[in-house]
């Protein structure tokens, strides 16, 4: 008998710690960087290639997997259910100068007039708008300062969640996630929304100074250095490019992607609109704009924002993508047009049985 020796290279024997290749349904281990078992979608800690290698197994069964086709279908449902969005006569904007990719970092004000010429503020009397606006003044602008959450602010969080859950849009979102076995009851869903969006974690020096809601909807002035502008410049909006930036260089704005927040601060003279580098294809609301501006002296190089959408529309879309595609591009369809949302989990702390908070969520090009 002839003995044949088979020599395997280290590459053949090695399973990458950030990949699900060969790891589907592997038992959970807290030492793993990411996970590939049926529970990872629930805890939002799957490896990025989980869907490619383990999709047949899906969430708990193949019918529970959220497919790309599911996302296109449910996002159109949410788009049609946004009954509180602005009408064409409710908002008039003046985009003025369109910046080229090389100009977005110049910090030059090329638009002498405000972005918003008119907003029908009767919109803000609607319950979801009114409860949303009450939340905007609850946060410190700079990182590294402990948030003092009062009993009144906790009631405001609960009231916002109560109001959005009354809408057809959020009921459709829950029905979809319930069908996909992500939540057993609406009560469970709302409790998780409160944790993932409003739970505090530290972006500074150990202080509980931030939350997903604050970062996405309210914004921050960064006090630390996190990378070069050249590395993070979005440039032109080619497929896959970023419409907005997250945490950037010292002295620049982090987060802040909400049109209502922008309008209210621009009206007060605190925000100064500089230019835009992208205007979405929609001829009604919600639209999408990529813009440059300064906020009380801090600069935002490329900030994406839905224009004219209801608070529950943004809140619902970002939630959908965070649950379905955490850390990945989430491809949606709105009124027949393609749009993608990128979300990221906060990895340094968790809640519940290891679930992740929202770190950020923003619009990207298709």
**Alpha-carbon dihedral angle through residues 114, 289, 48, 312, given to the nearest 10 degrees:** 80
The verdict on residue 173 lying in a domain is yes
306 and 188 housed in the same domain: yes
The verdict on residue 257 lying in a domain is yes
Separation CA 164–CA 78 (nearest Å)? 13
Q: Is 344 exposed, middle or buried (0-12, 13-18, 19+ CB in 10 A)?
A: middle
The verdict on residue 238 lying in a domain is no
Q: Where are the beta strands (DSSP E) in the chain?
A: 91-93, 116-119, 220-221, 253-254, 271-279, 287-295, 298-307, 329-334, 337-351, 355-364
Q: Check if 178 is active-site.
A: no
Which of 35, 276, 300, 356 is catalytic? The answer is: 300
Q: Check if 276 is active-site.
A: no
State the pLDDT at residue 143.
45
State the pLDDT at residue 347.
83
322 and 214 housed in the same domain: yes
266 and 126 housed in the same domain: yes
Longest dimension (CA), the chain: 89
The verdict on residue 251 lying in a domain is yes
43 and 81 housed in the same domain: no
Q: Check if 171 is active-site.
A: no
Question: Phi and psi at residue 229, in whole multiples of 5°?
Answer: -65, -35
Which of 180, 257, 276, 356 is catalytic? The answer is: 257
Distances (CA, A) of 172 to 37, 168, 231, 309: 27, 6, 39, 17
Separation CA 170–CA 183 (nearest Å)? 14
The verdict on residue 302 lying in a domain is yes
pTM, to two decimals? 0.80
124 and 75 housed in the same domain: yes
* Count: domains in the chain: 2
Six-digit token string for 243: 């419409």
CATH number of the domain that 43 lies in? 4.10.410.20
32 and 134 housed in the same domain: no
Per-residue pLDDT tens, the chain, 366 aa: give them.
Answer: 444 444 344 444 456 778 888 788 888 888 788 888 888 888 888 888 887 788 654 455 567 888 999 999 999 999 999 999 999 999 999 999 999 999 999 999 999 999 999 999 999 999 999 999 999 876 544 444 445 678 999 999 999 999 999 999 999 999 999 999 999 999 999 999 999 999 998 776 556 667 889 888 886 544 443 333 323 333 333 333 444 433 334 556 666 789 999 999 999 999 999 999 999 999 899 999 999 999 888 898 888 889 999 999 999 999 999 999 988 899 999 999 999 999 999 888 889 888 999 999 999 865
Which of 85, 215, 249, 276 is catalytic? The answer is: 215
SS3 315: helix
Six-digit token string for 28: 């959970």
Listed as own residue / partner, the contacts of 354-357 with beta carbons closer than 8 Å and 24 or more positions apart are 354/43, 354/45, 355/42, 355/43, 355/44, 355/192, 355/195, 355/196, 356/43, 356/44, 356/45, 356/196, 356/326, 357/195, 357/196, 357/199, 357/201, 357/211, 357/212
147 and 296 housed in the same domain: yes
Query: Domain span at residue 356?
Result: 64-221+244-364
92 and 158 housed in the same domain: yes
256 and 345 housed in the same domain: yes
State the pLDDT at residue 100.
94
State the pLDDT at residue 61.
58
């Amino acid at each position: 008998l002839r003995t044949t020796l088979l020599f395997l290279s280290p590459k053949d024997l090695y399973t990458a710690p950030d990949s699900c290749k060969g790891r589907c349904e592997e038992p959970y281990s807290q030492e793993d960087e990411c996970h590939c078992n049926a529970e990872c979608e629930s805890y939002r800690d799957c490896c990025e290639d989980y869907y490619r290698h383990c999709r047949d197994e899906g969430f708990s069964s193949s019918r529970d997997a959220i497919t790309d086709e599911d996302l296109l279908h449910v996002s159109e449902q949410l788009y049609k259910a946004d009954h509180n969005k602005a009408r064409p006569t409710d908002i008039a904007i003046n985009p003025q100068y369109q910046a080229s990719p090389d100009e977005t970092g110049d910090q030059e004000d090329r638009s002498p007039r405000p972005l918003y010429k008119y907003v029908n503020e009767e919109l803000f009397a609607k319950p979801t708008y009114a409860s949303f606006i009450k939340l905007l003044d609850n946060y410190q602008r700079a990182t590294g300062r402990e948030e003092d959450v009062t009993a009144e602010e906790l009631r405001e969080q609960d009231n916002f969640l109560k109001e959005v859950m009354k809408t057809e849009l959020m009921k459709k979102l829950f029905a979809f996630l319930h069908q996909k076995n992500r939540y057993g009851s609406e009560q469970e869903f709302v409790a998780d929304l409160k944790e993932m969006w409003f739970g505090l974690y530290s972006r500074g020096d150990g202080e509980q100074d931030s939350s997903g809601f604050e970062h996405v909807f309210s914004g921050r002035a960064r006090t630390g250095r996190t990378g070069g502008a050249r590395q993070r410049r979005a440039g032109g909006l080619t497929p896959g490019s970023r419409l907005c930036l997250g945490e950037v260089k010292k002295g620049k704005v982090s987060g802040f992607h909400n049109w209502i927040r922008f309008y209210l601060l621009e009206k007060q003279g605190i925000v100064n609109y500089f230019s835009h580098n992208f205007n979405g294809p929609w001829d009604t609301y919600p639209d999408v704009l990529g813009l440059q501006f300064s906020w009380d002296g801090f600069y935002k190089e490329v900030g994406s924002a839905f224009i004219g959408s209801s608070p529950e529309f943004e809140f619902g879309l970002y939630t959908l993508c965070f649950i379905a595609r955490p850390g990945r591009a989430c491809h949606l369809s709105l009124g027949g047009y393609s749009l993608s949302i990128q979300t990221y989990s906060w990895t340094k702390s968790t809640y519940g049985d290891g679930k992740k908070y929202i770190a950020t969520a923003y619009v990207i090009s298709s």
